[in-house]
């Protein structure tokens, strides 16, 4: 059986793609149980989008380009900034009440590199957990999605014409099984877990990048790995964060030499 669409990974990227693919049937593979093993549930500060009255997509894009100090693709920054308000609004509507302020407006905070407050928060620092829970609920209720929890992709199946014909996956009993598909989406997250100390789940080890490279894919920009600037050095891996709710409200960070910097403008 060849499935029309196979998605590997159940963080925000995999879950969102699976929902958007409707009514096309989707097989969704996730190595960890749904809701676990993904950076998405760990995201704290929120969704950056031009939602405030003093903001615009152009200003958001300009700040993004400035923050990258010459490394940002300007077209990509504009694409990121433009649909942001609509998409994030939709996410938040899926999780009603999480972003609520008494006056009904957005709870926005200002973080590093943003010239205005534009990080929409949920319940303080629970943005990722809230969005993930809402997406999982929607995916579980969707008839077009078959969820396979505990199925870990280990290699891509080669196809002479299309390049990729699906994946070779390990099922929950430890057996290897091919899953053939006309289209395969790899949404397995970061590779931060390869480092000695990370702020992502340690299971995020870039396996899909390795699988794609093995099949001959050209890997673009692998050096861009997210690390949080406010991790606390207490000998734990992954390192815990000083909550982004503090940063968003302008907390001052002090390092062990006593130097301080304003977290919101770091
Ligand atoms: C501590 C922290 C705070 C953050 N704060 C913010 C924030 O405030 N705002 C913001 O915009 N972003 C934030 N981020 C970044 C954001 O969380 C990530 O960019 C985003 O969640 C990545 O989503 P993803 O779907 O690509 O990957 P993930 O959410 O990591 O999902 C990967 C999925 O792939 C699965 N998987 C991996 N390998 C395999 C395999 N071989 N087979 C099957 N399944 C596999 C995993 O189980 C998981 O389901 C933060 C990240 C962290 C870690």
Segment among 3-17, 21-35, 63-77, 215-229 with least mean pLDDT: 215-229
Give me the mean pLDDT over the 5-17 stretch: 96
* Whole-angstrom Cα Rg for the chain: 20
Question: pLDDT digit string (tens) for 192-208?
Answer: 999 999 999 999 999 99
Question: pLDDT digit string (tens) for 230-241?
Answer: 788 899 999 988
Which pair of tokens denotes residue 9?
Answer: 């990974």
Q: Which residues line ligand 1 (CB under 6 A)?
A: 8-14, 29-32, 37-40, 42-46, 127-128, 152-153, 187-190, 199-200, 204, 207, 226, 228, 241, 244
Burial 141-178 (b: 16+ CB within 10 A, else e): ebeebebbeebbbeebbeeeeeebbbbebeeeeeeeee
Dihedral sign, Cα of residue 142, residue 181, residue 162, residue 208: positive
Nearest in space to 99 (alpha carbons), one of 136, 70, 124, 67: 124
Q: Are strands 145-149 and 26-30 parallel, antiparallel or unpaired?
A: parallel
The pLDDT of residue 245 is: 66
In this prediction, what percent of the chain has a pLDDT beyond 70? 88
How remote is the C-alpha of 93 from its chain's centroid?
18
Are 189 and 38 spatial neighbours (Cβ–Cβ below 8 Å)? yes
CA-189 nearest atom, ligand 1: 27
Segment among 89-98, 113-122, 130-139, 210-219 with least mean pLDDT: 89-98
With a cut of 80, say whether residue 106 has pLDDT above it. Answer: no
In this prediction, what percent of the chain has a pLDDT beyond 90? 56
Candidate of 109, 156, 188, 192 to mutate for ligand 1, largest count of ligand atoms within 8 Å of Cβ: 188
- Euclidean distance between CA atoms 202 and 9, whole angstroms: 15
CA-188 nearest atom, ligand 1: 34
Question: pLDDT digit string (tens) for 40-98?
Answer: 999 887 888 888 889 999 999 999 999 888 999 999 999 888 866 666 666 665 555 55
């Amino acid at each position: 059986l060849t499935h029309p669409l196979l998605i590997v990974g159940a963080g925000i990227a995999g879950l969102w793609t699976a929902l958007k693919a409707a009514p096309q049937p989707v097989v969704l593979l996730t190595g960890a149980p749904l809701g676990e093993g993904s950076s998405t549930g760990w995201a704290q500060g929120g969704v950056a989008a031009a939602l405030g009255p003093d903001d615009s997509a152009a200003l958001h894009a300009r700040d993004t380009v400035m923050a990258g100090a010459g490394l940002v693709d300007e077209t990509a920054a504009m694409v990121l900034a433009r649909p942001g308000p609509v998409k994030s609004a939709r996410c938040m509507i899926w999780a009603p009440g999480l972003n609520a302020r008494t006056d009904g407006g957005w709870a926005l905070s200002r973080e590093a590199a943003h010239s205005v407050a534009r990080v929409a928060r949920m319940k303080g620092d629970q943005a990722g957990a809230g969005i993930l829970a809402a997406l999982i609920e929607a995916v579980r209720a969707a008839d077009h999605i078959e969820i396979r929890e505990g199925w870990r992709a280990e290699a891509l199946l080669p196809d002479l014409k299309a390049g990729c014909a699906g994946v070779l996956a390990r099922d929950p009993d430890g057996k290897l099984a091919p899953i053939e598909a006309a289209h395969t989406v790899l949404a397995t997250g970061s590779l931060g877990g390869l480092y000695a100390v990370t702020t992502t789940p340690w299971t995020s080890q870039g396996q899909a990048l390795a699988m794609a490279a093995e099949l001959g894919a050209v890997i673009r920009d692998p050096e861009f790995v997210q690390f949080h600037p406010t991790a606390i050095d207490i000998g734990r891996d992954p390192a815990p964060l000083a909550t982004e709710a503090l940063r968003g409200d302008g907390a001052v960070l002090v390092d062990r030499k006593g130097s301080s910097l304003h977290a919101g403008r770091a």
